Amino acid sequence: MSELKRFGVSIEAELLARFDQLNEGIYNNRSEAIRDLIRDKLITKEKENSQENVVGTITLIYNFKQPGLTDKMYQLQHDYHCLFKTNLHLHLNHKFCLEVIVVEGLQNKLTKISERLIALKGVKHGKLTVTKVNES
Ligand code: NI
């Protein structure tokens, strides 16, 4: 076991209260809860940057009236057309659309492209969800 380090963290009281409430009855102390949170984040990042072949979906909710947004979204999909398999589009209301894009390819590439899509101005929410395909 490596040496323990102490560090100070500034955090909003309300956020800390919610975190403590979430971990009540699970962790004996806040330090262990934070250590597990950091480990989970590291594992998630390792997975996101792996070079495994995966299939999945990118789900986006966006304001289709945002100037230039749909052009940028479709340009990215055309630039990486090998990764994008098909789209499902739903007009949610007068302003917002839901787009579910089926993707397949290397996890690290899909992570980067989904981050670019989600970061576009006018995208309110986005998420990449993947699973591995076992050939055996
Ligand atoms: Ni629409």
Listed residue (18, 130, 26) closest to 85, CA to CA: 130
pLDDT of residue 95: 97
Mean pLDDT of all residues belonging to the chain: 94
Give the pLDDT band of residue 2 (cuts 50, 70, 90). confident
pLDDT of residue 1: 67
pLDDT in tens, 124-135: 999 999 998 776
Measure the CA–CA gap between 32 and 47, rounded to whole angstroms: 23
Determine the distance separating the centroid of ligand 1 and the alpha carbon of 105, expressed in angstroms: 26
Determine the distance separating the centroid of ligand 1 and the alpha carbon of 70, expressed in angstroms: 10
Instruction: Identify the weakest region by mean pLDDT among 21-25, 40-44, 116-120, 124-128.
Output: 40-44
Residue 10, pLDDT > 70, answer yes
Cite the annotated binding site by residue number. 78, 89, 91, 97
pLDDT of residue 132: 84
Strands 53-63 and 96-106: antiparallel
Determine the distance separating the centroid of ligand 1 and the alpha carbon of 113, expressed in angstroms: 21
Domain parsing of the chain, residue ranges: 13-48, 53-132
**According to CATH, what is the number of the domain 53-132?**
3.30.70.1150
Determine the distance separating the centroid of ligand 1 and the alpha carbon of 124, expressed in angstroms: 14
Copy the structure tokens of residue 49: 């940057």
Residue 109, pLDDT > 70, answer yes
